[in-house]
Structure 1
C-alpha cells in the first residue's frame, strides 16, 4: 500500500509547459467556433474531422509521437496540457482521440517498423482514425473471456466474432482488436493477440447503437470471415494481454478521466455569478474545486510515471475510478441545486447541458473499465486479493 500511496506525492507540471499552454489557448481562440454549453459538453464524444485536421496541421495530433513519423516529439506533460485545454474549452476531439492517446503509442511501442511507417504519419495528419475492439457481447467487463477469434490461414488470418460498445466505429478507418489467436476462453489471458483491422475490409459490419441522449457514439462491430494480412498482427502472437494492459494505462491516466463534466460545471458557475443568492452554493463549489485539484495532482503524478517510462496500471485505475465518481457527481449535484428553487428561472443553456450530461454520465463508469473491475485491480495492487 505504501508503494501505491507514494506514487501520488504532490506533483506539478514542469515550468516549460506554461508557454505551451498559452499556445494552445491562442489556437483555440482562433480555430474553435463558439458553441453553447450543451454542445461543448459533448467534447469527449464530439466528432469533427475538420477540427482534428486543424489540430494536426498545428502538429498537435500524435503530439508524443516521434518527429520522424510526423509527431511533435513532445512528452506526456505537454499532452496533459493539450488535453486539459481542449476539454476545458469543449473542443470536439473524438475523431483523433483514440489514435492519439493509445493506438499510436501502442503501435510505436509494439509494432514493426513497417507498421510505424505506415500508420503513424496517417495518425499525425488526422487521416487515420482508430477505435478500440475490446468489449464483447455476453462478456461484460471480463476482458480475458473474449471469444472473437483469429485463425491462421493461407495469406494471413481469418477473423470471426463481435465487438460491442466500440466508440465511433462507424466513423473510423481502423480498429485495434484484442482477439483469441490460440486456446479457448478458459485459458483466460493466454493466447490473446492484438490485430489492426481495416474496417473497410469485406466481412466487417458496423451497427451504431443509439444512447439515451439520441446520439450514436457506440457501435457493435461484426467480423464474418474477415481476411487479415500477416502484418495485421501487432507485436508477437499471444502477447495481447500484456500489450492491452500497457494500452489501458494510457487510456485511464489522463485528464480526460476527470474533465468529462467540466463544461457543465463551468457554465453553472457562470450562471450563479449573475444569480441573486448564489452564495448558498459556495461550499458546494469549494468542494468541487478541492476534489478537482486533488484528482488533477494524482493525474499529473501518473503522467510523471509515463514520462519516466513506467507503466502505472494500478495507479491509472485508481485515478480513473475516483475521477469517474467526481465526473458523475457534477450533474447530480447541479440538478439537485436547480431543484432547490423550483420557482427560480433556469438558464436554458444550463438546462440543456445538465440534461445531456445526466443522460450520458452512467457511461463514464463503463468506458475504460467498469468500477468493479478497476477496484479488483486496485485491490490486487494493494495486495488485498
Structure 2
C-alpha cells in the first residue's frame, strides 16, 4: 500500500506586504456597501469590471510567463492573492475558471497560437472560460462522456451536451472534453478542444439553482465545426490532460473558504455570550479550516515545484467540502434565534444553506473523489 504525505507548506507564505496591498485594493474596489450578504456568495459572485481591475493590478495570470502577458510570479504569491480575495468574498467568478485552470492547461498543452491568442487576454481580465466536462447521465464519472468530435476535412464535427456549466452564458470559451475515437479503453480515445462559444450550432440554456439564481447552464453542441487548431494538446490524450487540470480545480483555497463569511458571522455573534458548547464547536471548525489551509498551501508548494499533486488535491477537495457543509449546519444549531428574517446573520445563513449541497458536487462528487483517493493509495 502506498503512503501519502503532504510536504510542509513552503516558508514565507505570510507575505504581509502583498496581503496588505490586496486588502487595500479590496477596500477601494468593494467599498462599505459591499456587505456580508454579498460576501457570502464567495467565489460565485460575478463582476466583469472587478476582474478587469484585478488584471490591471497584475493579479491575474500571475504565474504565466511574461511573453504570454503574465507576470512570472510564484504559485505561492498567487495563492496569497486568491486567499485574500476569497476571505473577503470578492466577486471573482468572471475570471475564476480561466485563471485557475484554463490558463495553466493552455500553457502546458496548448499550441503556440492558442497561447499567444488567449493567455494575454486571460491575464488582462478580458477573457472568461467555462468547463466542458460534466454531461447528462454522467456527472463526475468523466470516463462515461458521450460528446463526440468526429474528424472531418479541416477539423472536427462535434455533437453532444454539457451540463452544470457554470457561467457559460458569460464565457468566451469552453475547454471541451470529448471522445475523438472508438478506443476500447474506458479512459482512452478522448481529447480536449478549445471552443469559441460564438461558433454556430451552440446553444446555451439556463438552469436555475435551488436559490432561483442563474449560475448553471446546459450547453448543447449540434454539428458544430471546429478547426484543427482547436485541438488542445495531443489527440487521444484528453484523459491525462483533464486529470491534470482537475488538480488545479480541486486544490485551492476556494475548496474550504466557501462558507467563510458565515463562519466569521458566527464567531461575531457567539463571542457576545460564549458558552462552553459554542467555544468547543467553533474551535473545532476553526481547527479544521486551519488544517485544510495547511494542506492547501502544501499543494500550492507542489505546483510551484512543477509536481503533480492530483491525489493530494483530491483529498483537500473532499475534506474541504465536508467542512464547508458542516459550518451552516453547526451555525443554525448554535444560534437558534437568528434574529428577524431580514437580519444579516439570517441572510448569510440562508444563502450558505442553499449553496451548501453543491459543495460536494462541484469539482467531483464525494463518491468519485473517494474512489480516486482509494486507487491512489493502492486500496482498490
Q: TM above 0.5, one fold?
A: yes
Q: Is the 8 A contact 1:248 1:313 kept in 2?
A: yes
- 2:217 is paired with a residue of what secondary structure? strand
Spell out the pairing of 1:28-67 with structure 2 (5 A cutoff): 28-34=26-32, 35-67=34-66
1:379 and 2:378 are equivalent in the alignment:
no
Alignment correspondent of 2:211: 213
Q: Deviations over 1:74-116 (max 9, x none)?
A: 1111111111100110100010000000000000000111110
1:248 and 2:246 are equivalent in the alignment:
yes
Q: Deviations over 1:40-96 (max 9, x none)?
A: 111211110010001011011111111111112111111111111001101000100
Deviation at 1:338, TM superposition (A): 2.1
Alignment correspondent of 1:148: 147
1:104 and 2:106 are equivalent in the alignment:
no
Spell out the pairing of 1:337-356 with structure 2 (5 A cutoff): 337-339=334-336, 341=337, 348-356=343-351
Structure 2: distance between partners of 1:16 and 1:143: 37
Alignment correspondent of 2:190: 192
Alignment correspondent of 2:224: 226
- 1:97 is paired with a residue of what secondary structure? helix
Spell out the pairing of 1:1-385 with structure 2 (5 A cutoff): 3-4=3-4, 6=5, 8-14=6-12, 17-34=15-32, 35-183=34-182, 187-273=185-271, 275-277=272-274, 280-339=277-336, 341=337, 348-385=343-380
Structure 2: distance between partners of 1:44 and 1:13: 27
Q: Deviations over 1:199-235 (max 9, x none)?
A: 0111000011101111111100000111101110001
Structure 1: distance between partners of 2:71 and 2:10: 22
Unaligned runs of 5+ in 1: none
Q: Is the 8 A contact 1:37 1:349 kept in 2?
A: yes
Structure 1: distance between partners of 2:156 and 2:106: 19
Deviation at 1:346, TM superposition (A): 7.5
Deviation at 1:271, TM superposition (A): 2.8
Structure 2: distance between partners of 1:350 and 1:279: 21
Deviation at 1:36, TM superposition (A): 2.2
Count of equivalent residues:
379
- 1:169 is paired with a residue of what secondary structure? coil
Deviation at 1:278, TM superposition (A): 5.6
Structure 1: distance between partners of 2:262 and 2:320: 16
Q: Is the 8 A contact 1:271 1:347 kept in 2?
A: no
Structure 1: distance between partners of 2:29 and 2:58: 14
Deviation at 1:318, TM superposition (A): 0.6
Deviation at 1:347, TM superposition (A): 7.4
Deviation at 1:345, TM superposition (A): 6.3
Q: Which runs of 4+ in 1 moved over 6 A?
A: 344-347
Q: Deviations over 1:117-156 (max 9, x none)?
A: 0000111111110000000001132101111011111221
Structure 1: distance between partners of 2:177 and 2:31: 37
Structure 1: distance between partners of 2:257 and 2:377: 27
- 2:187 is paired with a residue of what secondary structure? coil
Q: Is the 8 A contact 1:150 1:159 kept in 2?
A: yes
Structure 2: distance between partners of 1:36 and 1:30: 14
Deviation at 1:13, TM superposition (A): 4.5
Q: Deviations over 1:253-303 (max 9, x none)?
A: 111111010011112222333x34566511111111111111111111111
